[in-house]
């Protein structure tokens, strides 16, 4: 349930409502907007049903929320959330681009990729050091060595570092090197990992599961917010359908749905979403037109030699051309890039 306060409600009145709710054994979540304050109520359904707050001074109305997720819901928090990743804001007017190789392979590969993505305007360097591969015989990533290389390249080129975390026991290790912790599609419902990420401070990028509904995805994000970490960025990366021409089916309607249902920023991954480098540019354009807050794009200095996801990786030159083009689309949408 949410309690919508009158625009004229005083601090005292808001406090009175919060106290009443908490005395009933329920939790509150306060959202102070420019116009109105909303008191979100979380807890036992029966207690919520018995709560009488409509007559309290300053209360405009109460609204029942049927969705299971609360803290990620736009009803609880009508204004867009902007996630600040060590000074780079995700969720505002600017469309943030994260780019780099699928996997960190060696120093030269990463350096070339980082130089190129920086040159063409990316704000984040992406690159996996712990790779969740389908086959145990495929390249599994360089682990801590790869994380170190990511941090060094990020610092050298003034890029934030985003990298995947696959195990809750690695949180301290990955946090030492990364600015943004990525939860991959395969771990979207790894609830132990989500709970642990809720209890730490680094922002989290939560990718949509391979076959997850939007509701399951938002509930997964709720785990992180419920633990106390509000800094979550969602990432649409394609879902499994009957179609095999593309690696996944990039669900751009999810951008629109998430914007309606949630206040969290959402970025799009047209690389994993299609599996084909030549589809990255058109789908990135479409993602911006649909209203996304950012893009994550795979770039490799030599895609033909990549140890993972070469087919969907852009060369540095192509990435440069794509960025130039995307800037125009962003302008049409009254965004910057």
Does residue 296 bind Mn ion (CB under 5 A)? no
d(CA 39, CA 32): 9
Q: How far is the CB of 37 from ligand PEP (least distance, A)?
A: 37
Does residue 247 bind ligand PEP (CB under 6 A)? no
Partner residues linked to 31 by β-bridges:
38
d(CA 51, CA 33): 24
Q: How far is the CB of 329 from Mn ion (least distance, A)?
A: 24
Does residue 272 bind ligand PEP (CB under 6 A)? yes
Given candidates 146, 154, 184, 203, which one binds ligand PEP under the rule CB under 6 A? Answer: 184
Q: Which does 123 bind (CB under 5 to 8 A by kind): Mn ion, ligand PEP, none?
A: none
Given candidates 309, 314, 323, 330, which one binds Mn ion under the rule CB under 5 A? Answer: 309
In terms of CB distance, is 29 or 249 closer to Mn ion?
A: 249
DSSP letters spanning 228-267: T---EEEEE--B--S--SSSSB--THHHHHHHHHB-S-EE
Chain residue at closest Cβ approach to Mn ion: 102
Mask: binding to ligand PEP, 109-138, rule CB under 6 A, as x and -? -------------------x---x------
d(CA 157, CA 18): 47
d(CA 97, CA 20): 45
Residue entry with tokens 């959330």? 81
In terms of CB distance, is 40 or 273 closer to ligand PEP?
A: 273
Residue 203: partners with Cβ closer than 8 Å, 6 or more residues away:
83, 84, 85, 179, 180, 181, 229, 231, 232, 233
Does residue 209 bind ligand PEP (CB under 6 A)? no
Does residue 258 bind ligand PEP (CB under 6 A)? no
Q: How far is the CB of 309 from Mn ion (least distance, A)?
A: 4
């Amino acid at each position: 349930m949410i309690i919508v306060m009158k625009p004229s409600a005083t601090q005292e009145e808001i406090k009175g409502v919060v106290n009443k709710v908490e005395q009933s054994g329920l939790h509150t979540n306060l959202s102070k907007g420019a116009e109105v304050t909303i008191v979100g109520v979380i807890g036992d359904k029966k207690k919520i049903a018995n709560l009488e707050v409509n007559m309290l001074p300053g209360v405009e109305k109460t609204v029942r929320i049927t969705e299971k997720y609360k803290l990620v819901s736009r009803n609880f928090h009508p204004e867009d959330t902007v996630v600040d990743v060590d000074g780079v804001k995700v969720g505002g007017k600017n469309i943030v681009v994260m780019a780099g190789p699928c996997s960190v392979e060696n120093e030269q590969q990463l350096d070339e990729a980082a130089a190129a993505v920086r040159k063409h305007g990316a704000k984040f360097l992406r690159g996996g050091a712990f790779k969740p591969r389908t086959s145990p015989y495929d390249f599994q990533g360089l682990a801590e060595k790869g994380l170190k290389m990511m941090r060094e390249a990020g610092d050298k080129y003034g890029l934030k570092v985003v990298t995947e975390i696959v195990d809750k026991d690695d949180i301290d290790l990955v946090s030492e090197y990364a600015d943004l912790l990525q939860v991959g599609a395969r771990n979207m419902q790894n609830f132990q990992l989500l709970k642990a990420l809720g209890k730490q401070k680094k922002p989290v990028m939560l990718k949509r599961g391979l076959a997850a509904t939007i509701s399951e995805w938002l509930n997964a994000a709720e785990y992180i917010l419920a633990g106390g970490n509000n800094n979550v960025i969602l990432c649409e990366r394609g879902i499994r359908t009957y179609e095999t021409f593309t690696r996944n089916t990039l669900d751009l309607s999810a951008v629109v749905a998430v914007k309606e249902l949630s206040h969290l920023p959402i970025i799009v991954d047209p690389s994993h979403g299609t599996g084909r480098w030549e589809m990255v540019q058109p789908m990135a354009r479409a993602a911006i037109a649909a209203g996304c807050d950012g893009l994550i794009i795979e770039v490799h200095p030599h895609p033909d030699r990549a140890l993972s996801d070469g087919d969907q990786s852009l060369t540095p030159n192509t990435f440069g051309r794509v960025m130039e083009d995307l800037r125009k689309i962003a302008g049409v949408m009254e965004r910057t890039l």
